[in-house]
Amino acid sequence: MPPASRVGTHTKTIDQETLFVVEGADEEFLLRALVKAGIVLRPHNVWPAEGNKKIPAALDAVVTNSGFPVVRSLVVLCDADDDAKSAFAEVVDALGKRGLPGPAAPGIWSEPGKRGVRTCVYVFPDNAAQGCLETLLLRTIADDPIQACLDAYFACAGEPKPAMREKARPSLQRNEIDTRLHVLRRRVA
């Protein structure tokens, strides 16, 4: 396994065959947690887009980067928000406008295109439902006693709308993600 510092790097330099274009800091944090847990082992670079609507601009920057010719696998991670199909279609359209192949469906690889790059688009929470990365993370604790504590906290705070509630929880979840990945890893092993 490569040293952890080379497995995943947040950078504007591209020097690995695998590149993740991520919607934002939460997806980048998840990748770091997956590397730390030993789930993602392939060396890769991470290019944050800083929002779903900025993914096309991030793809522009990626394909014009001097290091892009080394890329063979490009993964885009984004949130569905209100509509997973629309989010997927927007990313596929953005890939096509930049000369990159779009996968036929979320979560699967395209065939390599003219540039020799295959692509995959994953739309959180599950490639079909509305929501976001936080929706997926909340599912992992749905039956956990911690859920009652979080529910009590949010009830005390005035119970934000569901979408706001999911977005408000990441700060509570950041310390929990490593624990959840550890538990999931033990269950798989």
Could you write out the DSSP letters of every residue in 70-124?
G--EEEEEEE-BT-HHHHHHHHHHHHHHTT-PPPSSTTSBPPP-TTS-EEEEEEE
Mean pLDDT of the region 6-28: 78
- Strands 18-22 and 8-10: what pairing? unpaired
pLDDT at 72 over 50: yes
Query: Is the pLDDT at 74 greater than 90, yes or no?
Result: yes
pLDDT of residue 16: 94
Closest by alpha carbon to 106, among 87, 127, 90, 91?
Answer: 127
pLDDT, residue 159, reads 58
More confident residue, 88 or 13: 88
Q: At residue 89, does pLDDT exceed 90?
A: yes
Instruction: Return the percent helix, strand and coil in the chain, to nearest 5.
Output: 50, 15, 35
Domain 4-124 class in CATH:
alpha beta
What values do phi and psi take at 78, rounded to 5? -145, 165
| Residues 6+ away with beta carbon under 8 Å from 22 | 28, 31, 46, 47, 48, 49, 76, 77, 78
Q: What is the pTM of this model?
A: 0.77
- pLDDT category of residue 180 using cuts at 50, 70 and 90: low
Neighbours of 28 (CB within 10 A): 18
- The yes-or-no verdict on residue 174 having pLDDT over 60 is no
- The token pair at 163 is 């979408």
Res 134 pLDDT > 50: yes
Instruction: Examine the pLDDT at 34 and tell me if it is beyond 80.
Output: yes
Question: Per-domain residue ranges for the chain?
Answer: 4-124, 133-188
CA distance 19 to 76: 9
Q: Mean pLDDT lowest for which of 57-71, 121-135, 146-160?
A: 146-160
Is the pLDDT reported for residue 80 higher than 90? yes
- In this prediction, residue 3 carries a pLDDT of 35
Q: What angle do CA 123, 94, 42 make, to 5 degrees?
A: 55
Q: Which of 55-59, 136-140, 182-186 has the highest mean pLDDT?
A: 55-59
Encoded tokens for 103 = 């996968």
CB atoms within 10 A of CB 136: 16
- The whole-number pLDDT of residue 175 equals 46
